[in-house]
Structure 1
Amino acid sequence: MVVGEYRLYHYAPSLVAAIAATACFGLITTCHLIHYFAQRTWFFTPFILGGIFETIGYLGRIINSQQTPNWTTAPYIMQELLLLIAPSSFTASIYMILGRIIRVTKGDSRSLIPARSVTRIFVIVDVVAFLAQAGGGGILAQATTTSRQHLGNGIIIGGLLVQIIFFALFILVSVIFHLRMRRDPTRRGRKTHVKWHRFLIVLYITNVLILTRCVFRVIEFAQGTNGTLQSHEIWLYIFDGLLMFLVMIILLIYHPSRLLTTAKVRDTSQIRRRRKRRTHPSPRRREY
């Protein structure tokens, strides 16, 4: 369908690809939901929402793929907006994970930004980028002229650039914290049973995947509808769908609940042992 001067798709959306993506994201999101409720990792709520957004977004593409070339705007808007903003939900939870790692290791002195401020600063910026992308996506999805299309593209690119800049700063903060902890670990960092080293590496990998996706999106919207990226559906699935699916898989395998729950269990057991010693002191040997 062509709305005014603006064509919704510049290719025929693939039904098979959309079904596969919907099934994959639906399955992985369900697995995350099981962990979410079982481990009560409420801070992971934005991540869960991101998975739901991805699933519903590709569902919109299923609907549109069966309407070619007379696409309706509602499914198009649904997929355009939700696939655009879903990664922002992922990053919000990733920011919180670093804050929790700093708390677990009591590593505020090793971080450029204290744990509480890490979460606040980066999540607030993430929300701003989220709203900018949502606003630009809304304008773009309902564009009826080329000028409105350019306006939507510009707002989206601005939101993505803000996200990229602060995401790069977040990676820098993570790396500096990691290096300082390796060089001079805190007492809690040495004794804790939480494998925070491994989990920081997991954060690096997921960060790079999301950052790559954001760069792809900037190039895509900068090229416009006549560019290669928006004219061929395959790039969306490779540099957006696949990368975000990998992020969800990695954080399912190395789910933060396992690491942080381990810390709570160990700390609780240590407290119980101390109380037991105080309540039932070991008998003193009699001297003859």
Structure 2
Amino acid sequence: MTELQSRGTYTFWYYVPSLGAAVIFLLLFIVLTGLHCWKLFTTRTWFCISFTLGGVFEIIGYIGRAAAHSNTTAMGPYIVSNMFILLGPTLFAASIYMTLGRIIRSVKGEHLSVIRISRLTKTFVWGDVLSFVVQGNSSGLSVLGYPLYAKLCVIVGLVIQLISFAIFWLTAVVFGKRIARSPTTESCNRDLPWQQSLHMLYAVSSLVLVRSIFRIIEYVMGNDGYPLQHEWTMYIFDSVPMAIVMLIFYIWYPNRLQRSAGQSMSISREFPSPFVLKERDRRTSKVSAEP
């Protein structure tokens, strides 16, 4: 039976990581990531590539966790496990943010968005990138022997992610209420699954928010806190929610939104709106009137 050991004055683990639990979630994320890879390449929904990469991060993280079972003093498995499991949801978030932009464009609801559509995706994705970079730096600080600064980096990164996701969730909810009150012609198209995709975003965003809140509490409470002393908390509030996020996103994959958005743009170019035609006629008249 593996015994818990410490390395000098620094303790990586406060329990022996469960090999069984690590292998179960490793296999689960391998299956889910494989399904996402298949869906990504068969539907060519390329904006979801970061979501699939998030699944790869989860796989790597649980490989590290399984390796740590037999050696709780090794730094490598500890860092791999912590960082890749920590950063996986950040990659999920990038595709989740981009999905909302495609929903809004597909129903021509730009005027109903709280944030201008041209800035919507960029705003949240850049916040996501900032969160990823800040949290990613914590591993380097841990290796260099600055655990306190590493912990602060993780907390700051998680807070950025939490704020970003909270604002995103509110933006999605407000848009949903506005378009329900003032539906566009495109939103009445029954072949366009925008409502289904919007509800999917509500669900996955809520799960990521719960996971982010748990992670912040975990790191704020520190090594003496209950979460870091008991392994089950990580599986219940991180592993399970993220597996559900991958499953929900796969079932209601937003590939039809991408085709609909592309068709809408194509139609708008072939059949311009009356305003565009009027503006074009005005410019033509102005040019022909010139000597």
User: What SS is found at the alignment partner of 2:15?
Assistant: coil
What is the letter of the counterpart of residue 80 of structure 1? N
What is the letter of the counterpart of residue 92 of structure 1? A
Deviation at 1:263, TM superposition (A): 6.4
Deviation at 1:139, TM superposition (A): 2.2
Which of 18, 21, 45 in structure 1 is aligned with 2:22? Answer: 18
Indicate the larger mover: 114-123 or 54-63. 114-123
Which of 195, 199, 211 in structure 2 is aligned with 1:201? Answer: 199
Q: Calculate the TM-score normalised by the size of structure 2.
A: 0.86
Deviation at 1:152, TM superposition (A): 1.3
User: What SS is found at the alignment partner of 1:7?
Assistant: coil
Report the equivalent of 1:286. none
Deviation at 1:267, TM superposition (A): 9.1
Q: Could you give the per-residue CA deviations for residues 220-258 of structure 1, whole angstroms, max 9, x where no partner exists?
A: 000111111001111111111100000000011111114
Please give the alpha-carbon distance, in whole angstroms, between the structure 2 residues aligned to 1:64 and 1:234. 16
How high is the sequence identity, in percent, across the aligned residues? 37
2:79 equivalent to 1:81? no
Aligned residues: CA RMSD: 2.2
What is the letter of the counterpart of residue 16 of structure 2? A
Report the equivalent of 2:36. 32
The runs of at least 4 aligned residues of structure 1 exceeding 6 Å deviation read 265-269
User: What SS is found at the alignment partner of 2:236?
Assistant: helix
Report the equivalent of 1:278. none
Report the equivalent of 2:275. none
Q: Could you give the per-residue CA deviations for residues 194-239 of structure 1, whole angstroms, max 9, x where no partner exists?
A: 1211211110010000000000000000011111100111111111
Report the equivalent of 1:224. 222
How do 1:10-159 and structure 2 match up within 5 A? Answer: 10-67=14-71, 69=72, 71-140=73-142, 142=143, 144=145, 148-159=146-157
User: What SS is found at the alignment partner of 2:216?
Assistant: helix
Gaps of 5+ in 2: 271-291
Q: Calculate the TM-score normalised by the size of structure 1.
A: 0.86
Report the equivalent of 1:168. 166
Paired residues of 1:19 and 1:58 also in contact (CA < 8 A): yes
The number of aligned residues is 266
Deviation at 1:31, TM superposition (A): 0.3
Gaps of 5+ in 1: 273-288
Please give the alpha-carbon distance, in whole angstroms, between the structure 1 residues aligned to 2:140 and 2:191. 46
Paired residues of 2:47 and 2:98 also in contact (CA < 8 A): yes
What is the letter of the counterpart of residue 104 of structure 2? I
Paired residues of 1:193 and 1:262 also in contact (CA < 8 A): no
User: What SS is found at the alignment partner of 1:47?
Assistant: helix
Deviation at 1:259, TM superposition (A): 4.3
Which of 237, 249, 252 in structure 1 is aligned with 2:250? Answer: 252
Deviation at 1:80, TM superposition (A): 1.1
What is the letter of the counterpart of residue 74 of structure 2? T
What is the letter of the counterpart of residue 247 of structure 1? V
What is the letter of the counterpart of residue 91 of structure 1? A
Paired residues of 1:137 and 1:156 also in contact (CA < 8 A): no
Paired residues of 1:15 and 1:65 also in contact (CA < 8 A): yes
Report the equivalent of 2:281. none
Indicate the larger mover: 129-138 or 49-58. 129-138
Paired residues of 1:47 and 1:89 also in contact (CA < 8 A): yes
Paired residues of 1:194 and 1:263 also in contact (CA < 8 A): no
Report the equivalent of 1:237. 235
What is the letter of the counterpart of residue 231 of structure 1? Q
Paired residues of 1:84 and 1:137 also in contact (CA < 8 A): no
